[in-house]
Structure 1
Amino acid sequence: MDGSHASGSKAAAAAAEGPGTQRTQYPYVTGTSIIALKYKDGVIMASDTGASYGSTLRYKSVERIKAVGKHSLIGASGELSDFQEILRYLDELTLSDHMWDDGNSLGPKEIHSYLTRVMYNRRNKFDPLWNSLVLGGVKKGPKGEEKYLGMVNMIGTHFEENHIATGFGNHMAIPILRAEWREDMTFEEAVKLVEKCLLVLLYRDRSSINKFQIAKITTEGATIYPPYSLKTYWGFSAFENPAQGAVGSW
């Protein structure tokens, strides 16, 4: 095969992909942990507003928690452009559901099931969406008010739980949530527990920043609060002298 024929084949393959077709081969602009838990009246979700470009904390005001339809909240760790693509899918899904005009609407359980299929399908095409997604919500069902909280990752692994943390929070926040979470927590108690987890992550996760956002979903709907900062203390001995007692340290 001569060079001109080879280059022609590449051009034909590129044309078959369609104009402007691009795929995320590696996550570049990423967000870190999402913390979420059920409480007495609904589901609370929190994250910081930072986004890293590689190892650089490039963006400081990125919102990674969004409302979906009437009954759900979604939060995402990972690649932000892929999260934007997922939000576009969900906009189409909720619009199609609304157009049926049958008096019913998709609840968090149905949306979580849809996301597991989307993530698993893209994984099977070796073109994954590089995200860990947390889906929480409240909807009145046959048994009354039903709270739902589930997670799905980039390869389609999914589960339902009373409290969830993604990213570095899966290592640092889950032990705190297991020890202190209660089913009958008030909103104020849930906020304090979430803030405790966020503070631990701020101290230990280099991708986290001291600017956080909290959202809640109840039967009355979703509320996403403005970002705010937490009071910090960096005088711990382990921070002032991190190499103390380390063998062979500088």
Structure 2
Amino acid sequence: MECVLGVVGRDFAVVAADTSAVQSILVHKTDEDKVMVLDSHKLMGASGEPGDRVQFTEFIQKNLHLYQFRNTMPLSTAAAANFTRGELATALRKNPYMVNIILGGYDKDVGASLYYIDYIATLHKIDKGAFGYGSYFCLSLMDKLYHPDMSLEEAIDLVDKCIKEIRLRLVVAPQNFVIKVVDKDGAREYARRELVGDNAAPAEAAAPTTIPA
């Protein structure tokens, strides 16, 4: 029941994802960060098979760092998206990665941008997008409420509406989400939306009921 979503605003991009690590009917943890900071001005939200997701996102992150070390300049967001798409396309013919990606970034000469990359290496530049079961509700909300000149507060409000709808409508809905933002000041975590957590205090035990003789 994973969900990753992204929105581009006036001069920023927002990427959000659930934080559940799930296998079959078991929830292993509720604080898994699925939005990776690739470098100072890029974010990658990913969903899919846990092993593929972790391995592939780390592979992309380290290769972007390697490029910057070798060339003393980072890849642009568009170049990073095309590099990611190329690696997925190469793997598709060998050992495919089951990973779907929302890639957001900020470039001085271009501004904020957002890219949709799925597991079969489809690449599109988008203004808004989502992956996972939550996308059934997020995309319709985005179609209704999104506009290109959104402020950061408006974009976060739209993300919160998507999260609320996911929690309300999905039978087995992830409860916790992480929201990250990238703009001219860099990529950073903006907020977490949590209902439950691994460190939540246990409920008090009910007093034993005395059964009369």
Same fold per TM (> 0.5)?
Answer: yes
CA separation of 1:88 and 1:209: change in aligned 2, threshold 3 A: closer
**1:155 Cα deviation (Å)?**
1.1
Report which structure shows greater RCO (CA 8 Å, sep ≥6): 2
Q: Contact 1:52–1:207 at 8 Å: present in 2 too?
A: no
SS at match of 2:192: coil
Alignment of 1:50-199 (within 5 A): 50-102=20-72, 104-125=73-94, 127-141=95-109, 145-199=110-164
For residue 56 of structure 2, what is the amino acid of its counterpart? I
For residue 91 of structure 1, what is the amino acid of its counterpart? Q
Runs of 4+ aligned residues of structure 1 deviating over 4 Å after TM superposition are: none
Percent identity among equivalent residues? 22
Q: Contact 1:138–1:219 at 8 Å: present in 2 too?
A: yes
Q: Distance between the aligned counterparts of 2:33 and 2:121, measured in 1?
A: 23
Q: Contact 1:73–1:135 at 8 Å: present in 2 too?
A: yes
Post-superposition CA distance 1:187-220 (Å, at most 9, x none): 1111110010111111223443221111000011
Per the normalisation by structure 1, the TM-score is: 0.73
Q: Contact 1:37–1:164 at 8 Å: present in 2 too?
A: yes
RMSD (Å), alpha carbons: 1.7
- Correspondence 1:205 to 2:174: no
Post-superposition CA distance 1:72-126 (Å, at most 9, x none): 1000111121122113312331232222354x2112111110111111111111x
Q: Contact 1:50–1:208 at 8 Å: present in 2 too?
A: no
Q: Distance between the aligned counterparts of 1:82 and 1:207, measured in 2?
A: 23
| Structure 1: gaps spanning 5 or more residues | 1-30, 231-250
Q: Contact 2:177–2:194 at 8 Å: present in 1 too?
A: yes
For residue 168 of structure 1, what is the amino acid of its counterpart? Y
Aligned residue-pair number = 195
**1:39 Cα deviation (Å)?**
0.9
Q: Contact 1:50–1:207 at 8 Å: present in 2 too?
A: no
Per the normalisation by structure 2, the TM-score is: 0.85
| Structure 2: gaps spanning 5 or more residues | 196-213
CA separation of 1:221 and 1:44: change in aligned 2, threshold 3 A: same
1:218 corresponds to which residue? 183
For residue 99 of structure 2, what is the amino acid of its counterpart? N
Q: Distance between the aligned counterparts of 2:194 and 2:16, measured in 1?
A: 13
Alignment of 1:17-28 (within 5 A): none
Q: Contact 1:32–1:207 at 8 Å: present in 2 too?
A: no
Q: Contact 2:128–2:142 at 8 Å: present in 1 too?
A: yes
Q: Contact 1:212–1:228 at 8 Å: present in 2 too?
A: yes
